[in-house]
Amino acid sequence: MSIASMTGFARTSGAVGDFLWTWELKTVNGRSLDVRCRVPQGFEAMDGLVRQAAAEHLKRGNLSANLSVDEIASRGRLTVNRGALDQVLALVGELQGKLDARAPSLDGLLGLKGVLEVETPLVDADIMAMRQEAIEAGLKLAMTELGAMRRVEGSRLGKMVLSHLDEVERLRVASVATAGAQPLNIRLRLEEQLKQLMPEGVPVEPERLVQELAIIAGRADVREEIDRLAAHVAAARDLITKGGAVGRKLDFLCQEFNREANTLCSKAADLALTNLGIELKAAIEQLREQIQNIE
């Protein structure tokens, strides 16, 4: 299975006679699957079909689905509501002479609510069924194209994630060599501090020095963090290879990456290891930014 991005776009359109329809689907990042659908009046049933199709094709992401329709045959067909107009004219005649006002103009009369109407021709039930069928087929095609685009983008994301994992592994390996020098650096620093603090001529008990060194070295031991980082890198690579909806698991692994990097920095007893820890945190942040786009 391949991984998929949560970002995608698809557009399909068609016609049934003079009736035109267009689907536009757009997805962006989201913690779960959230669907928002906009359809014209008379096509409310499409909302349920969109949600059903989304559940079948998508696992995560915010989906915006928009259906627009246009019936060429009904464009610009304005009609005058004769009954409403007659009532208005009757009132005008009745009030003439009672009010000091100008006679109403034609555009003023037509601008009154209910006088000018848009004619909506009745649609035969069979024709409406054909339109619905065409729109449903267009929705399925749009969902398929959306899924294909998300997988193409997911393939690109997968390569980027693997590249960032390689960088994390490189820094982890470098940390192994640097961490190995920590005990010696700790001993030298402690001996130097003791020379500065102890009165001249007062000897330092070797046993006590060894005890202090053991305590400090134990607190600064980062081998467990480095080993866990190796396990997390292997687990992340395995998820990318298996594919599917692995975004949540990868996001959880990123939290673990950060935890180990923070602990490594806090335990670092020299500047070299601290700098590696900072680089490691930067690489993990770049990894996290890409993982947040994965379904």
> What is the per-residue DSSP string for 160-198?
HHHHHHHHHHHHHHHHHHHHHTHHHHHHHHHHHHHHHHS
Q: Total structural domains in the chain? A: 3
Report CA-CA distances (Å) from 293 to 89, 193, 200: 64, 50, 63
Task: Say what the pLDDT of residue 80 is.
Answer: 77
Burial of 130 (0-12, 13-18, 19+ CB in 10 A): middle
Give yes or no: residues 161 and 271 share one domain: yes
Residue 107: inside a domain, yes or no?
yes
Task: Say what the pLDDT of residue 181 is.
Answer: 45
End-to-end CA distance of the chain: 13
Residue 70: inside a domain, yes or no?
yes
Give yes or no: residues 146 and 159 share one domain: no
| 295 residues of the chain, pLDDT tens digit each | 789 999 999 999 999 988 899 999 999 999 999 999 999 988 999 999 999 999 999 999 999 999 999 876 555 567 777 887 778 777 777 777 666 667 777 777 777 777 777 666 677 888 889 999 999 999 999 999 999 999 999 999 999 999 999 999 999 998 887 764 455 555 556 556 556 655 565 565 566 555 555 555 555 567 888 889 999 999 999 999 999 999 999 999 999 999 999 988 887 777 788 898 999 999 999 999 999 999 9
Give yes or no: residues 105 and 45 share one domain: no
Give yes or no: residues 283 and 195 share one domain: yes
pTM of the model: 0.72
Q: Range of 62's domain?
A: 8-75+124-151
Task: Say what the pLDDT of residue 160 is.
Answer: 96
Residue 166: inside a domain, yes or no?
yes
Give yes or no: residues 189 and 101 share one domain: no
Residue 89: inside a domain, yes or no?
yes
Beta bridge partners of residue 258, listed in sequence order: none
Residue 235: inside a domain, yes or no?
yes
Task: Say what the pLDDT of residue 104 is.
Answer: 73
